[in-house]
Structure 1
Amino acid sequence: MNPLSLSSPDETLAWITERSSVQIEAARAIAERLRTDPPGDALEVLRAWDDISLELGNCAALASLLANVHPVEQVRSACEDAEAEVDRLVTELSQDRALYDVVSTLDPAEFDPLATRLLEKTLQDFRRSGVDRDDATRARLTEVKERLTQLGQDFSRVIRDDVRTVRVAPERLAGLPEDWLAAHPADEDGLVTVTTDYPDALPVRMFCHDADVRRELTVAFLERGWPATDPMLRELFELRHELATLVGYPDWPSYDAEVKVIGTGEAIPAFIDKIAAAAAGPMASDLEVLTERYHRDRPGAVLTGADTLYYEELVRREHYDVDAQLVRTYFDFGKVRAGLLEVTGRLFGLRYQPVDDASVWHEDVAVYDVHPAVEGARASRLGRIYLDLHPREGKYKHAAQFTLTDGVAGRQLPEGVLVCNFSRGLMEHDHVVTLFHEFGHLLHHVLAGHGEWVRFAGVATEWDFVEAPSQMLEEWAWDADVLATFATDAEDRPIPADLVAKMRAADDFGKGFQARQQMFYAAMSYYFHQERPADLTARMRALQETYAPTPWIEGTHMFANFGHLGGYSSAYYTYMWSLVIAKDLFSRFDHDRLFAQETAQRYRDTILARGGEADAADLVADFLGRPFSFDAYAAWLAGE
């Protein structure tokens, strides 16, 4: 099997338009044959339905990727149109009574367990799409879904394109690393422009001594998307609620949670409050230390999010002898990228072969074919990965793995894309951890791309388990022996083990603080959907007072650029839910022998390679030998 051959950048618009049309029409043709002349063999009916998913998935995946990364706006717009067309067809087919009648009459007694699971999931999809509702309801559902697609695209586009800036005199940037200052010279007016993109914003908020600069940039960062996205989000929440009620659910969180590990909407606030309670003591301890240090500089002032990153860094430097500016000298981007490939290759038995002649959408993109580490192994090529890791205008602003193709045994290779926004020079260790995390999604996608059914390919597990494998891979970015293999300074000296130990101790500071901040985001995600408040700002402020460690910064509207309200909807709790599972998974590894092959191989085969072939809770139980528990997370949070 050969990987997908992309067009050259200047031919992408015509190519993507033609390709999308062909794939959508192919899916329509398969559906028509199923309606009018279905195969006599039940398994072939199921295969035909999966073939529709393959065609539409291939179309939507590429369109979604290029809509977020292609440098030409016209191409991005065309890809958004293709995404919308796929969504319309998915809605149409999922509400087609004739297709439902064909699939629902299949006898699962004729299937193996995996085909039976596919049939069950397919029938559930039909039901959740309203196939059993009357004509008027199905028509309204179609309208709602089309509008939701448009709103989601508009919301993402505004966030992606709304890059704000502050302009300051160079002397006000004292405290910033020398390499950062060198990359940001003053303009003809004698001012330095700082953007809200992460490679600019994070160092300024961490290191700049001028509190007014930190506050100005923080406010600009929090104000992205405001006020444009406020009405979009309110309409989004109302329409999601309407969709859920039209198909028989009391609210959107109930509808959304049904297909997740958590199971019910009511369990979401209970989980949020459980984590908030467990983190209350650690948060108070963290906040006491942080506030005491802050008040040395500003007696009696109220600590806010404009100053937390800076004072967390001060505490780590003064209490734990960890200087982030020293730490970053060990994390040159090129070395980190090479180290990431070496570490994950060694851990999971993989080899990454550069593909220098591959067509890409931008010159920054690096391409690798993924092979088994052992030459001559059964599968000569497991998949292909693309690394698009630096910021540019019009590109997705966060960090994520995008699917290019889902892998299906004997039909097409799994291909995935890592889209991030890292510095080209020295990296903060936090960004190194993020890179390991996101690469975990990419590995999951490739390793789970060799099954029989596209429905279960790649990261096809429940959405509140998706983050767990990536969160666990972060542990390798914290191990001194692992880091020593690639984290070296300008003289090629590896990062000292005692510095890594201090970094880990310093990282323990703030766990309660960060957990409560995450619960604020999770509560906002849930209650915005559950209550659909008319005044999102007021409700955000109230939730921040209840859950967050620091108060609202007056005049800011952080929710307006909280992109997870689009993809994760009411389920942002999943990051912490997954972390609970990740800590339990990691408990099975020997922390002194992180490359022990027996455990790593069993984890790869039991968790990663299975994709969506079983419920996540069952996959985890297979690996752990028991159901997952809260114990490992609770011990970690308590510092035990």
Structure 2
Amino acid sequence: MTSTPAPLDLPTPDEARAWLDERTNVLLGRARTLVADLKADPPSEPMAVLDRWNAIGLALGNIGSIASLFSEVHPLEAVRSRAESAMQEAQRLSTELGLDADLYAVLAGVDASALDPLAARLLEKELLDFRRAGVDRDEETRERIRALSQEAVLVGQQFSKNVRDDVRTVQVRPEQLDGLPQDWVDAHPAGADGLVTLTTDYPDVVPFSTFGRDAAVRRELRIAFLNRGWPQNDALLHRLFEIRHEHATLLGYADWAAFDAEVKMIKEGPAIPAFIDKIADAALESGLRDREILLERMREDAPGAESIDAADLAFYAEAVRRERFDVDAQQVRRYFDFTRVRQGLLDVTGRLFGLTYRPAADAVVWHEDVVAYDVLLADDEAAGPLGRIFLDLHPRDGKFKHAAQFDLARGVRGAGDLDQLPEGALVCNFPRGLMEHSDVTTLFHEFGHLVHHVLAGQGRWARFSGVATEWDFVEAPSQMLEEWAWDADVLQTFAVDAAGERIPRDLVERMRTADDFGKGYLARTQMFYAGMSYWFHVDRPEDLTAATQRLQERYSLFPYIEGTHMPASFGHLEGYSSAYYTYMWSLVIAKDMFSAFDRGDLFAPDVARAYRDKVLARGGQADAADLVADFLGRPYTFDAYAAWLAE
């Protein structure tokens, strides 16, 4: 192993704009110089050509990673705006390089037979990217693709900004908080006008939707939540779909979905709706059964109710779990103090993957809420850090509204002067006190991406560093890590109430049983979202709200709420584009991978280390199907998922 590279020297918040400006300009200049030198005097040695290309990719990646994070989390608007422009500049240069026929000729001239298998894989992937970029098209087409690519970045950024900044509020009387946990009520005092303000941020929406007994407020808050980004994002979505469609057809594809699917496990666009229908059919029976149970419970409060929708779904699902399964989420949450959960997460994943998390005392952070750790191999801490992670876990104004992992730097080792430490950030919006168990599973899920990023950041090629697998496998490792948040032995290591009592084992078992309730209708809801993602890109409907309603009727088991415009805040339409199906595709694989573990001993070192080394640590060094087959000893199947769904 080479010596450990130094971590990034991040700026203080007040210095961030100037730092980002200088860094962007330096890295853009470096990339342009490297490209010019490579075209003017390409090395005769095949590996030397790829090393130069690796350096170019790192320079561009080092702009985009920091800029993407800061654009979503930095507390200063001026920094967020500069980060957005830095992303635009990096994307503009990346587009130019993908359309550069002379640069393509240099790489196409490399003798693949002189390369080792991993380098040959790198060359194959890069040449495919060039062709998918349109390098072999005429100049007029290349120019149009260039313009479309640049516009897509601008439109996507504005769409995300509108979602991020559109925090809506609902004002209620204190007595309308009936049913909410006392600590939550205490954190929401009435203002001078005697009213309590609720926001559409998750720490307000999720608890009120789950526990709030006032049905009218639940509905008002749900409508406000579903209408974030409306109406401004409607036009942006239309334009984004048109840009992508024109881009794909210029390259000879039937539509954007066909173009996008080519480099995923699914391979072909039309296979996406077939997969969606397969999942929807498999989930129908249990979904209808559990929906009827919800309706029966709702009718106790609203006799004659004929349907239930998203405004009431969480409340009555919680009621069913409490009354039928003896699982009261308000009692459960008292075991999940945020500080204990965060430490428990580090302890559990450290034990599972053989890692140590050491507080990074020298790390400069962008906000006082952020904490940083260096990640080391537990059995070889003297070798130095594998990477550095940042946890930014509470909501604030101007911050990303969902939960995701962001890169700060791709890890590269063994590439000489190019070596850099993998660094990443976990960005979430959790309460500061007691957490719902659903928050705990989300934290485990998203942390799975962060571990994947660090463990897979130890190789030579930036292209294969981190979470660099096909996009329809990306979620599988994180979905599998959620299983540890449902195990009684695991939870008892950190789930402790204020009196020091550990969460009872029988409660955890009831929680697991209760969690199975609704998985059919939740799968159908996911297929509704996946259907939007796919059909919006293929059909490009004139009226997105009407199309949403049709797809909801086709896939979801819950009706559309009149007057809402959910696509305007469905951020995955920007990020996942036509491929939101990938979340469920990954879950199928996650269930199969988890079958290799012993439920009686989730920390068994042999299987845990095999999974770490054969799947996570290899990043994009092999196709995802091959990584999984290497770990399982066989190709993955649908069987484990089908069995889970049928339980």
Question: Using the alignment, how far apart are the partners of 1:33 and 1:160 within structure 2?
Answer: 41
| 1:113-168 deviation line (CA, Å, top 9, x unaligned) | 00000000000000000000000000000000000000110000000000000000
Corresponding residue number in structure 2 for 1:316: 321
Aligned length: 638
The amino acid that maps onto 2:571 is: G
Q: Summarize the alignment of residues 9-158 of structure 1 with structure 2, pairs less than 5 Å apart.
A: 9-158=13-162
- Which residue of 358, 361, 365 corresponds with 2:370? 365
Residue 275 of structure 1 deviates from its aligned partner by 0.1
Residues 1:307 and 2:312 aligned together = yes
Question: Using the alignment, how far apart are the partners of 1:128 and 1:621 within structure 2?
Answer: 28
The amino acid that maps onto 2:299 is: H
| 1:596-627 deviation line (CA, Å, top 9, x unaligned) | 00000000000000000000000001011111
Question: Using the alignment, how far apart are the partners of 1:482 and 1:43 within structure 2?
Answer: 46
Residue 356 of structure 1 deviates from its aligned partner by 2.8
- SS of equivalent to 1:160: helix
- SS of equivalent to 2:391: strand
Question: Using the alignment, how far apart are the partners of 2:79 and 2:408 within structure 1?
Answer: 16
Corresponding residue number in structure 2 for 1:224: 228
The amino acid that maps onto 2:27 is: Q
- SS of equivalent to 1:368: strand
Corresponding residue number in structure 2 for 1:234: 238
The amino acid that maps onto 1:314 is: A
Residues 1:352 and 2:360 aligned together = no
The amino acid that maps onto 2:378 is: A
- SS of equivalent to 1:307: helix
Corresponding residue number in structure 2 for 1:441: 449
Question: Using the alignment, how far apart are the partners of 2:428 and 2:461 within structure 1?
Answer: 29
Residue 540 of structure 1 deviates from its aligned partner by 0.4
- Which residue of 195, 198, 205 corresponds with 1:201? 205
Structure 1 runs not aligned, ≥5 long = none
Give TM-score, length-normalised by structure 2: 0.98
Q: Which moved more, 1:36-45 or 1:608-617?
A: 36-45
The amino acid that maps onto 1:60 is: G
- SS of equivalent to 1:329: helix
| 1:217-268 deviation line (CA, Å, top 9, x unaligned) | 0000000001010000001001101000111111100000000001100100
Give TM-score, length-normalised by structure 1: 0.99
Question: Using the alignment, how far apart are the partners of 1:78 and 1:603 within structure 2?
Answer: 40
Corresponding residue number in structure 1 for 2:439: 431
The amino acid that maps onto 1:615 is: D
| 1:499-552 deviation line (CA, Å, top 9, x unaligned) | 000000000000001000000000000000010001101100000001001100
Corresponding residue number in structure 2 for 1:332: 337
Question: Using the alignment, how far apart are the partners of 2:316 and 2:63 within structure 1?
Answer: 47
Structure 2 runs not aligned, ≥5 long = none
Q: Summarize the alignment of residues 157-172 of structure 1 with structure 2, pairs less than 5 Å apart.
A: 157-172=161-176
Question: Using the alignment, how far apart are the partners of 1:21 and 1:517 within structure 2?
Answer: 45
Corresponding residue number in structure 2 for 1:617: 625
Residue 380 of structure 1 deviates from its aligned partner by 1.8
Corresponding residue number in structure 2 for 1:3: 7
- Which residue of 244, 255, 259 corresponds with 1:255? 259
Question: Using the alignment, how far apart are the partners of 1:462 and 1:583 within structure 2?
Answer: 18
The amino acid that maps onto 2:438 is: D
Question: Using the alignment, how far apart are the partners of 1:100 and 1:384 within structure 2?
Answer: 35
- Which residue of 472, 481, 485 corresponds with 2:489? 481
Question: Using the alignment, how far apart are the partners of 1:42 and 1:353 within structure 2?
Answer: 40
Q: Which moved more, 1:297-306 or 1:450-459?
A: 297-306
Residue 375 of structure 1 deviates from its aligned partner by 4.6
| 1:536-570 deviation line (CA, Å, top 9, x unaligned) | 01100000001001100000011110000000000
Question: Using the alignment, how far apart are the partners of 1:52 and 1:549 within structure 2?
Answer: 49
The amino acid that maps onto 2:214 is: D
Q: Summarize the alignment of residues 513-552 of structure 1 with structure 2, pairs less than 5 Å apart.
A: 513-552=521-560
- Which residue of 586, 595, 599 corresponds with 2:607? 599
The amino acid that maps onto 1:110 is: A
- SS of equivalent to 1:306: helix
Question: Using the alignment, how far apart are the partners of 2:375 and 2:231 within structure 1?
Answer: 44
| 1:164-213 deviation line (CA, Å, top 9, x unaligned) | 00000000110000000000000000000000000111000000000001
- SS of equivalent to 2:121: helix
Question: Using the alignment, how far apart are the partners of 1:572 and 1:492 within structure 2?
Answer: 42
The amino acid that maps onto 2:185 is: L
Question: Using the alignment, how far apart are the partners of 1:50 and 1:549 within structure 2?
Answer: 48
The amino acid that maps onto 2:451 is: L
Q: Which moved more, 1:602-611 or 1:30-39?
A: 30-39
Corresponding residue number in structure 2 for 1:188: 192
- Which residue of 636, 642, 645 corresponds with 1:634? 642
Residue 46 of structure 1 deviates from its aligned partner by 1.1
- Which residue of 292, 298, 304 corresponds with 1:294? 298
| 1:381-416 deviation line (CA, Å, top 9, x unaligned) | 110000000000000000000000000004111001
The amino acid that maps onto 1:555 is: G
Question: Using the alignment, how far apart are the partners of 1:48 and 1:606 within structure 2?
Answer: 28
| 1:363-384 deviation line (CA, Å, top 9, x unaligned) | 000000001112555x321100
| 1:14-46 deviation line (CA, Å, top 9, x unaligned) | 110000000011000000011111112111111
The amino acid that maps onto 1:52 is: I
Question: Using the alignment, how far apart are the partners of 1:132 and 1:477 within structure 2?
Answer: 49
The amino acid that maps onto 1:535 is: D
- SS of equivalent to 2:367: coil
Question: Using the alignment, how far apart are the partners of 1:322 and 1:600 within structure 2?
Answer: 31
- SS of equivalent to 2:577: coil
Question: Using the alignment, how far apart are the partners of 1:372 and 1:444 within structure 2?
Answer: 14
Question: Using the alignment, how far apart are the partners of 2:609 and 2:602 within structure 1?
Answer: 12
The amino acid that maps onto 2:392 is: D
Corresponding residue number in structure 2 for 1:575: 583
Residues 1:553 and 2:558 aligned together = no
Question: Using the alignment, how far apart are the partners of 1:440 and 1:335 within structure 2?
Answer: 18
- SS of equivalent to 2:324: helix
Q: Summarize the alignment of residues 445-460 of structure 1 with structure 2, pairs less than 5 Å apart.
A: 445-460=453-468
Question: Using the alignment, how far apart are the partners of 2:363 and 2:466 within structure 1?
Answer: 22
- SS of equivalent to 2:106: helix
Corresponding residue number in structure 1 for 2:405: 401
Question: Using the alignment, how far apart are the partners of 1:95 and 1:591 within structure 2?
Answer: 51
The amino acid that maps onto 2:357 is: Y
- SS of equivalent to 1:270: helix
Question: Using the alignment, how far apart are the partners of 2:362 and 2:630 within structure 1?
Answer: 41
| 1:455-489 deviation line (CA, Å, top 9, x unaligned) | 00000000000000000000000000000000000
The amino acid that maps onto 2:157 is: Q
- Which residue of 247, 267, 270 corresponds with 2:274? 270
